[in-house]
Structures are given as C-alpha cells and as structure tokens.
C-alpha cells in the first residue's frame, strides 16, 4: 500500500522560492503563449506553449538550479538531461509557515507569464499517519487558518489546487484513526468551499490511485468530503501507475461521483509501478522508473482534464534505497528518471 508522499523536505525550498518571487517580481515568460526567454537561476528556462500546457513553469525550481550547477561544472550532458524536468510545470507544495506569501508569489509570477499556478495543499492534521511525511496542522483551527491564508494569497489570480494527497484514502484504508474522520471530512469540505469562492481557482480533491483498492471503497467518502463542490479529483499523486490504468480507475470512479473530471499525476509513471523487492517499500524511490507524459490539457480522454506533474520528479520519497529525507532533491535519481524516458 502506497502511503507516503515524500514532501517533508519541500517546505524549506518552497519558502525560499516563494520569497524570492515576491521580492524579485519574477516572471518566467513573455506571456504570448509561445514561451519566453527569462531563465531563472541562469538555466534559460521558458514556458511551454499555452494551448497545450497552460501551467506555470517555475524558472527557479530545484531542477532549474541543478541545470545551472551542471552547466557551471561543465557537465553539459547532465544539464541537458535535467532540463527535461526543469522545463516542465510542476506542483508547488505550499509551506504552512508561509502559505499566504507563497500563494501570492507563485500566482503573481504565473499571472505575469500568462499562465496558471499549480499549487498542492498538504497540511491536513495527522497527515500521512505519522510516516515519512507525517505532520500537518496542529488542529482543525490551525488548518482553517492555513486555508484562509492560501485563499488570501491566491486572490483573483488563476490557480489549480490539488487538495490534500492521501487525506481521503487514509480514512478509507483506516491508516488515519477513526476518531479523526469526522473533523477531517469537515476540514476538506470547508477547504473546497473556501477555495471555490475565489474567482479563478480550480480544486481537485485527491482520490488515491489505481493500485490501492476499488472506486466502490472511496466514492462515498469523497462525497462526504465535498467532491460535489470541487472541479474534480486527482489520481496517482506521487505514484507510478500507468496513465492507462489511471484513466480506467478515474473513469470508473467518476461515474460514481457525478461524472466529475479528473487529473492524473504522470510525473514518474513512464515505466509503470515497480514490482520487485519488498512490497511494503515498492513505492519508495523505486529504481528503473521514468518520466511520464509531460503536463498537458490535451489528454487521451475527455474526462481527463490534464496530465500534471504534481510530484516534482527528482525529489525523494523518503530515506530508503539510499535516498535523502522525503521531499529533498536527489540529483542522481532525477538523472535516472530523465534518462529512462529518452
């Protein structure tokens, strides 16, 4: 069973990047839909064509910084390989300590580039059942304040929000103790209501992946969590199931929740899931994986709103198989992901 999202180490990076964007008023494109020449961190990162990938490419992300480091070291081949990651829009996992500032910084930078920011909210109390990515808000009131801060930061600018990976799934599989369920449903429903009150924000509530169970197990919990008010749901976040399997899972689930559309995290699913080694750790930094379809709103099915890179390729799932802490950048793994997709 896949549980950890591997985002613990994302926070510090997000704080720095969000602050830098606010101070510099960073823009990463010319807004004409054909990409720009603004190269954050000296990496020459541009936007993808808007008609296919309207999501913002962060020119100062960890992959872009790695491109710059390789260039400075004369490692042109490695720089070109990592550029496959740096050049694509990826999710910005907001830190609760600076949620308003980050949400404002990322959406302002995206708006200047005529793109939409892709934000991930991962701060539900009792998150990840205390595993690699455990933590989250101290209590319900702290979480509501976090959502208020995010909403204030986004304002009327465009944003697509992936709401709380695993939060519903972990109530279904009983990883999250039962005494927390009622509050969690209320918090998720409240978050959707708050975010959907914004003028240009889309919300996708996370709904697990193709490998954990059946849609019959999760469709009612999704309804209790407010899926009817959301734009849709997300599947395969931080996971490796193929796009084909994810579409099949998503379509079966969609039929049970009012035909809601969905998005698929394709960031690392190019070779499908890992099937060797300890079944309990197959999800954690599995070898031999590859980048999947690049982010796009042009998908294989009308119910699929987009392929997204929600998990940032190259960031560790946790301290397993030689990896650093969850969420920390791991250049060797990033190189292998990109090389395997060639």
For residues 204 and 231, what is the distance between their CA atoms, to the nearest angstrom? 6
What does pLDDT average to over the chain? 90
Q: Which sign does the torsion angle of CA 10, 16, 19, 23 carry?
A: negative
Q: What is the pLDDT of residue 91?
A: 98
234, 205 contact by CB (below 8 A): yes
Residues contacting residue 336 through CB under 8 Å, at least 6 positions apart: 287, 288, 289
Q: Is the pTM of this model over 0.85?
A: yes
Q: What is the pLDDT of residue 133?
A: 79
For 75-82, what is the mean pLDDT?
Answer: 98
The active-site residue out of 114, 128, 245, 265 is: 128
The active-site residue out of 166, 231, 245, 305 is: 166
Q: Strands across the sheet with 262-265, in order?
A: 92-93, 117-121, 159-163, 201-206, 232-235, 262-265, 304-308
Has 128 been annotated as catalytic?
yes
For 70-83, what is the mean pLDDT?
Answer: 97
The CATH H-level (homologous superfamily) assignment of domain 10-340 is: 1, 4-beta cellobiohydrolase (3.20.20.40)
Q: What is the pLDDT of residue 42?
A: 59
Q: What is the pLDDT of residue 43?
A: 76
Tens-digit pLDDT profile for residues 249-269: 999 999 999 999 999 999 999
- Domains in the chain: boundaries: 10-340
Q: Is the pLDDT of residue 11 over 90?
A: no
Tens-digit pLDDT profile for residues 37-59: 344 445 789 999 999 999 999 99
């Amino acid at each position: 069973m896949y549980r950890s999202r591997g985002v613990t180490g994302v926070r510090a990076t997000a704080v720095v990047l969000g602050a830098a964007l606010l101070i510099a008023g960073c823009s990463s494109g010319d807004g004409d839909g054909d990409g720009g020449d603004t190269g954050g961190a000296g990496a020459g990162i541009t936007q993808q064509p808007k008609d296919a990938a309207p999501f913002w490419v962060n020119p100062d992300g960890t992959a872009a910084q790695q491109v710059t480091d390789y260039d400075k070291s004369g490692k042109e081949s490695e720089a070109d390989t990592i550029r496959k990651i740096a050049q694509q829009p990826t999710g910005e996992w907001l830190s609760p300590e600076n949620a308003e500032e980050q949400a404002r910084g990322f959406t302002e930078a995206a708006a200047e580039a005529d793109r939409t920011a892709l934000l991930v909210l991962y701060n539900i109390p009792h998150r990840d059942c205390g595993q690699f990515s455990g933590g989250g808000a101290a209590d319900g009131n702290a979480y509501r304040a976090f959502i208020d801060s995010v909403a204030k930061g986004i304002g009327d600018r465009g944003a697509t929000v992936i709401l709380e990976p695993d939060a519903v799934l972990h109530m279904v599989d009983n990883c999250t103790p039962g005494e927390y369920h009622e509050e969690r449903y209320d918090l998720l429903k409240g978050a959707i209501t708050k975010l959907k009150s914004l003028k240009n924000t889309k919300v996708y509530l996370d709904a697990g992946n193709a490998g954990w169970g059946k849609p019959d197990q999760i469709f009612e919990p999704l309804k209790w969590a407010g899926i009817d008010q959301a734009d849709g749901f997300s599947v395969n976040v931080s996971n490796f199931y193929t796009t084909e399997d994810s579409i099949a899972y998503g379509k079966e689930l969609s039929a049970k929740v009012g035909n809601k559309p969905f998005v698929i995290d394709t960031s690392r699913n190019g070779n499908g899931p890992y099937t060797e080694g300890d079944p309990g750790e197959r999800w954690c930094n599995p070898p031999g994986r590859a980048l999947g379809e690049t982010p796009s709103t042009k998908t294989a099915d009308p119910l699929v709103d987009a392929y997204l890179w929600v998990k940032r390729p190259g960031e560790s799932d946790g301290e397993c198989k030689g990896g650093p802490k969850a969420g920390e950048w791991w250049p060797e793994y990033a190189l292998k992901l990109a090389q395997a997709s060639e």
